[in-house]
A and B are shown apart, each in its own frame.
Chain A
Amino acid sequence: MTETRRAARTGDDPLIRLRGVDKHFGDYHALRGLDLDIRAGEFFSLLGPSGCGKTTLLRVIAGFEDVSAGTVTLDGRDMHGVSANKRPTNMVFQSYAIFPHLSVEQNVGFGLRKLDGTKAEKAARVAEALEMVGLAGYGARAAHALSGGQRQRVALARALVLRPKVLLLDEPLSALDKKMREQMQVELIRLQRQVGITFILVTHDQEEALVMSDRIAVMFEGEIAQVAEAEALYRRPASRRVAEFIGVMNFLPARVSGDVVAVAGLGEMRIDALQSTAHADGDSVAGFRPETATLLFPGQEASDRVADGIVQEVVYYGDMTYYDVMLDGAETAVRISMRNVFGRPVLEIGTRTRLAWSPGAVTLFR
């Protein structure tokens, strides 16, 4: 028998603590020594491109995969040797895995089968769970007759009815169309606040992660690149790779000497004025987001610094226009997004323009 240690969990201890988690599939190194803390009651996302190990990590927490090395602690208890059916976690599968030969009610009540309680109590819990996901009255329906969105709600109800400590969601929205997806995002956030259970969401969609999560872990090739709140992740990406994966960022070659950095097209600036100051002397890369700079129209004054350039490309989106501007002295164009304010013309390709920008929005990458 495996001895399970149960330590008293003090207020600040994380609900889930991963230390040095390693996972090999044969020669393939899926997880490379991960350390991660997930707090009780937070909406946490594992974000990364396909093959980065995010689903493997979720399955490690669920108990479907053993770790090759390292420890998984859940609610103060070492999960080594604890199988998936004994863990206080429940999962919403990417395919939803609704049992097609059972009714909606039987699906939702499946996990209650082995628990104590009268039939009436269990039926009440099933009804409550269905109500929670907006499927009240659907209990008697056959599971195979449901639409995609309804299947997902059943999968949610089936997992939540057990009142797990952690709800694991494996790309739950990827099978839905765009409109349905946006609706379900809002509903999931509402549901998470309502039940107060820790949600861990696996997604490759950076927008989805930003919209839904309290905190996000960005993963590449089995390693965690950065863990941060949504806004911090967007504004202060820890690496160029994270910056490229989350939203759009313009990159310009830069050269650091002492406490001054010279950026192609933007000119020189003091390093301590920048947003992030990860640097070393020599060649480097500076980046800024499209919405942090603005084109100056006649009569407008810059509050900070100005760079000159030529409009190379115009992409009109209705409420927004994207301009690709080649700054004087730069070799690649930067993208600037402008809100289309009433009465302001859309610039034409080839127009000379002035760009207002601020060193405070510039991030320096190694």
Chain B
Amino acid sequence: MLRAYVFLFLAFLYAPILLLPVFAFNDGTVIAFPLNGFTTRWFSEMTRSRELHAALANSLTVAAAASILSVLLGLAAARANVRYRFPGKAAAMGLIMLPLVLPEIIVATSLLVVVVRFFEWPLTLWTVTAAHVLICTPFAVAILNASFQALDPAMEEAAIDLGENRASTFRLITLPLVMPGIVAALLISFTISLDEFIIAFFLTGSDPTLPVYIWSLLRFPKLLPVIMALGTILVILSVLILALAEWNRRRGLARAGVKDTGGFL
């Protein structure tokens, strides 16, 4: 009974995604059964689209910038959260984590109003990046919190006791020991930013990110198989990055001789 439930549960989650590769290799523009035969045409068509390449470049730029900024902010927040007690800490941490559960459409709308009405800034990749930092930072903080919690505070004190200052202690001891967490946070933030649609849709100007570009393609039914091909690649890429992040985190824990107490996978 339980087995059947688990099977159904997983099928419900992943069967739609499995349709992506099926139609990505189907020789026909109509997304429907029966299948027409095998082709790699859609993949080669994908490589010829200039707009797609531009959108991909935009997405990668935004994801790289957003993940680096989120992790820098996350490092500061997580270290402060784990090491220090100060008034208003719980409230501050709550507000940092809040975007995890806020409806993205609300965040996107309010950001659009602020950017366009209050600041009267143009919508560029920078506005998308800033908004993505907002939603990636909670993930970075969550991962780095765990890293700092696993780090014995005596490690930093020992380095200071042995003559190092705060900066060199951070560089020689803290950074290497939380590095697995940093890498995991970078990879996960990168993935989230790369996949994010709603906020990017509201805040992009003339340069669309990949998900926004895919959305625009949906108006042209004959391009649907190309989207399927693209989707296939994105799914594989996302899974690979997540697996890499988790592998790296576990390796770090093993190296520090700490018991595994959680993580994303």
Contact = CB atoms under 8 A, between A and B. Distances in A.
A99 B155 contact: yes
B79 to A, nearest CB: 17
Most buried by B among A90, A100, A144, A158: A100
Tell me the interface secondary structure of chain B in the complex.
helix
Interface string B152-179: 1011011111111100000001001100
Contact of B256 (A85, A94, A144): A144
Contacts of B165: 85
Contacts of A100: 177, 255-257
Contacts of B162: 85, 90, 110-111, 158-159, 162
Interface string A173-191: 0000000000000000000
A240 B115 CA distance: 73
Interface string B127-160: 0000000000000000000000000101101111
A91 B256 contact: no
Interface of B: 152, 154-155, 157-165, 173, 176-177, 255-257
Interface of A: 62, 64, 83-85, 89-91, 93-97, 99-101, 110-111, 113-115, 144, 158-159, 162
Contacts, number: 63
Nearest to B177: A101
The list of the 5 closest CB pairs from A to B, nearest first, reads: A111-B162, A97-B154, A97-B158, A93-B154, A144-B257
Contact of B157 (A64, A89, A111): A64
8 contacts: A64-B160, A84-B161, A89-B161, A94-B154, A95-B154, A97-B157, A113-B164, A144-B256
Contacts of A110: 159, 162
Contacts of A158: 158, 162
A291 to B, nearest CB: 40
A94 B165 CA distance: 22
Nearest to A114: B163
A214 to B, nearest CB: 24
Given A144-B255, A158-B162, A162-B163, A84 B155 contact: no
Given A62-B161, A85-B164, A101 B256 contact: yes
Most buried by B among A97, A110, A162: A97
Contacts of A85: 160-165
A84 B160 CA distance: 6
A113 B163 CA distance: 9
Nearest to B85: A26
Given A85-B165, A94-B154, A144-B255, A99 B160 contact: no
B2 to A, nearest CB: 39
A110 B158 CA distance: 10
B158 A101 contact: no
Nearest to B169: A85
Contacts of B157: 64, 84, 91, 93, 97
B164 A101 contact: no
Nearest to A143: B257
